[in-house]
């Protein structure tokens, strides 16, 4: 009886030395902190599986990690996840992960391989109001606007223009810079 390994491999599946050797031999490629066989597609599903191995099941990929999973950005140096405020999740402090508590409606997320990921519109809004001077998010916002399709710019503008939205002015400025059609 043969057993098939998962699409995304970690040190729990095989020793890290063996995985690294297989990568050097051209049998595996890296996806985030993990490895995939070369006959797997480097697509949304593999990136989602790799991100899911980093966090508990209740976590939701957001901001730069969601943009990476959607195929619009390179892998972030620090992955961004959130959990619903009511979820009780304990995560050891890590320089590789940022985990925050938010209110996230079910319709703002999507699931393909088990990990919840923020939809393009929610990712766009989160990136627009995220005050990080180290990352230029305007090109990502532009790409996410294209991914949202017709009506996306108007919906993003409505979501960012609510009085209680933190960093509302920053979000509106970034939306204006990302698309002249707002």
Sequence-distant (6+) residues with CB within 8 A of 169 are none
Distance (Å) of CA 2 to CA 5, 19: 10, 19
- The encoded tokens of residue 18 equal 């063996």
- pLDDT tens digits for 62-92? 999 999 999 999 999 999 999 988 777 777 7
- pLDDT tens digits for 6-37? 889 999 899 999 999 999 999 999 998 899 99
129 within domain boundaries: yes
Residue 34 phi, psi dihedral angles, 5° rounding: -130, -175
72 within domain boundaries: yes
Q: Which domain holds residue 98?
A: 47-178
- pLDDT tens digits for 117-151? 999 999 999 999 998 888 899 999 999 998 888 88
What pLDDT does residue 38 have? 93
14 within domain boundaries: no
19 within domain boundaries: no
Over residues 32-59, the mean pLDDT reads: 91
What pLDDT does residue 180 have? 52
**CB contact at 8 A, 88 and 99:** no
Is 0.85 surpassed by the pTM of this model? Answer: yes
95 within domain boundaries: yes
Could you give the number of structural domains in the chain?
1
What pLDDT does residue 75 have? 92
């Amino acid at each position: 009886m043969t057993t098939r390994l998962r699409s995304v491999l970690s040190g729990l599946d095989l020793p890290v030395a063996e995985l690294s050797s297989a990568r050097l031999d051209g049998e595996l490629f890296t996806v985030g902190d993990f490895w995939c066989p070369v006959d797997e597609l480097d697509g949304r599903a593999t990136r989602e599986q790799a991100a899911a191995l980093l966090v508990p099941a209740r976590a939701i990929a957001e901001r730069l990690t969601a943009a990476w999973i959607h195929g619009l950005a390179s892998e972030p140096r620090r992955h961004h996840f959130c959990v619903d405020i009511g979820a009780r999740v304990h995560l050891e402090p890590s320089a590789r992960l940022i985990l925050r508590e938010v209110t996230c409606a079910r319709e703002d997320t999507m699931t393909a391989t088990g990990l919840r990921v923020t939809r393009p519109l929610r990712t766009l809004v989160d990136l627009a109001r995220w005050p990080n001077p180290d990352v230029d998010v305007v090109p990502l916002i532009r790409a996410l606007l294209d991914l949202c399709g017709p009506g996306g710019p108007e919906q993003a503008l409505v979501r960012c223009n609510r009085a209680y939205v933190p960093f509302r002015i920053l979000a509106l400025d970034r939306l204006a810079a990302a698309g002249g059609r707002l």
